[in-house]
Amino acid sequence: MEEILRNMGLIARTRLAKVCMSWSSLVMRAEIRSAPQLPWLVHPQTPNTNYLTFSSLSEGEVVNMELPKRFRGQGKFKFRASSKGWLIILQEKGFGFDMFLYNPISRARHQLPSLNTIPSFLSFQLARMLGKVINNHADKHAENFVSKVVLSSPNISECIVAAVFEPQKELGLCRPGDKSWTVFEILNHEDDFLMDLLFSQGMLYGLVDNVDNSKSTKNGIGAARILNFGDDQAMTVELKLVYGHKEVGNTTEYHDDYLIFLNRDYNSYLLESTTNSDKEILLIHQMLDCLMPNCAAAADDDDDDDESEIEYQRTSGFVVYKIDLECGNFHEVQNLGDQIIFLAEHSSSLSFPASDFKLQGNCIYFATSGYATINLPLKTLLGSNISREIGIFSLDDRKIKRPFPSLDVAGISSPSQLSWFSPSL
């Protein structure tokens, strides 16, 4: 039986565990490792549901997994991120949100401090509620206060949780079971923003970008600093900031009813490459074309609809750098070797040997929503918004394939919450 389980995927094992209680105890034993698994894609969460939808690339299946009954009825829950085999879940509780780690396979749950323990969250909520009263809809969803969450380890006993809070200027640290977050303001300029976080070999790296490049710090790595955190301030973590600004394009394509601003924006990620013993750190820029309606063409139409512009961000390519941790220089990488990388805005970036899965190496699998909205009325969110920004970029020929089904993100409050999740028992 154990040999059979080692050759089964985790979706099959969870189904087998439901056959009977005696099988469940054997099937769900963590020490019986399953066959190597590619990450699961976490779909955007449908509002007012008690389940999450996953796509397994290895098993070629889509599965819904419910939150355990003991957690239901305690307030709506919102999936926010994934890291190290754990989902980060927010759950409404009165004016605030509780926060916990959850493994949908083992159904283990570990409490994190409430967002109410963060002073800026209370200000965020007050501003959001004031906007709701004045405009009859909230300009920001409360769960969007948490911009990024990463874990240092899948092992809860030694795990540190780091998070970026809106407006992407505050760093929060805690351990599972702590009563409150310890929050730091660590940026040098008012136009600096924290874009990503990465734990690597005991060090926490924070990726910083600046909307005004004339005021930004030169690309490279800042000096290490020690941060004390925890309920008794007894825990420490060493932090280094990585400054990684990228110049954008200034070319525009004009079409009859829309414009394309080529390479006008980008998302940035930090990644620990795990395909060699050196554990290199990579900085990856996902370049984006911005598609917007042609306002001049729209003005000629007789349509009285005054909906605001919708911006669609189309992935155009990737630029990869290896970070020299000794001198802080960035070296562009043209070949990832036997490596496939998984990137999404709301998950820790992942690296796998392509040969383990008989896949083509030197590729990046990406999953983003594609939509950015500008002063968008609520009624537009209920329309049909199709995102095709799930695809594969090959560094060999610099081409993008989009073999995955499109996602309808209409009515989804936070469609950017696509995430890659590494399932484990």
Cα distance between residue 61 and residue 378, in whole Å:
33
231 pLDDT above the threshold of 80: yes
Q: Residue length, the chain?
A: 425
Confidence label for 269 from pLDDT (cuts 50, 70 and 90): very high
Question: Strand order in 161-165's β-sheet?
Answer: 146-151, 161-165, 170-174, 182-185
What would the DSSP string read from start to end of 341-408? EEEETTB--EEE-GGGGT--SSEEEEE---EEESS--HHHHTS--EE--EEEEETTTTEEE--SPPEE
Cα distance between residue 86 and residue 169, in whole Å:
24
Strands 182-185 and 192-200: what pairing?
unpaired
Q: Tell me the domain boundaries of the chain.
A: 1-35, 246-420
Distance of CA 421 to the CA centre of its chain: 10
E-strand stretches of 67-191: 77-83, 86-93, 96-102, 109-112, 146-151, 161-165, 170-174, 182-185
Residue-level pLDDT at 410: 55
Do 105 and 30 contact (CB within 8 A), yes or no? no
- The per-residue pLDDT for range 10-63, each reduced to its tens digit, is 777 777 777 766 667 777 777 777 777 899 999 887 766 778 889 888 888 888
As a whole number, the mean pLDDT across the chain is 82
- b/e burial code for range 46-56 (CB count within 10 A of at least 16 → b): eeeeeebbbbb
- The per-residue pLDDT for range 198-222, each reduced to its tens digit, is 999 999 999 999 876 555 567 889 8
17: Cβ contacts below 8 Å, ≥ 6 apart = 23, 24, 27, 28
Higher pLDDT, 154 or 368: 154
Using DSSP's 3-state secondary structure scheme, residue 215 falls into: helix
Do 176 and 111 contact (CB within 8 A), yes or no? yes
Average pLDDT on 396-423 reads: 77
Six token digits for residue 269: 């990620």
Do 221 and 241 contact (CB within 8 A), yes or no? yes
- Best-predicted range by mean pLDDT among 41-55, 62-76, 90-104? 90-104
Using DSSP's 3-state secondary structure scheme, residue 127 falls into: helix
Q: Backbone phi, then psi, for 371, in 5-degree steps? A: -105, 135
The pTM of this model reads 0.87
- The per-residue pLDDT for range 124-171, each reduced to its tens digit, is 888 777 765 444 444 456 678 899 999 999 999 999 999 999 888 999
Question: Strand order in 86-93's β-sheet?
Answer: 77-83, 86-93, 96-102, 109-112
Residue-level pLDDT at 11: 74
H helices of 68-180, in order, are 119-135
Distance of CA 105 to the CA centre of its chain: 20
Cα distance between residue 33 and residue 383, in whole Å:
44
Do 124 and 166 contact (CB within 8 A), yes or no? yes
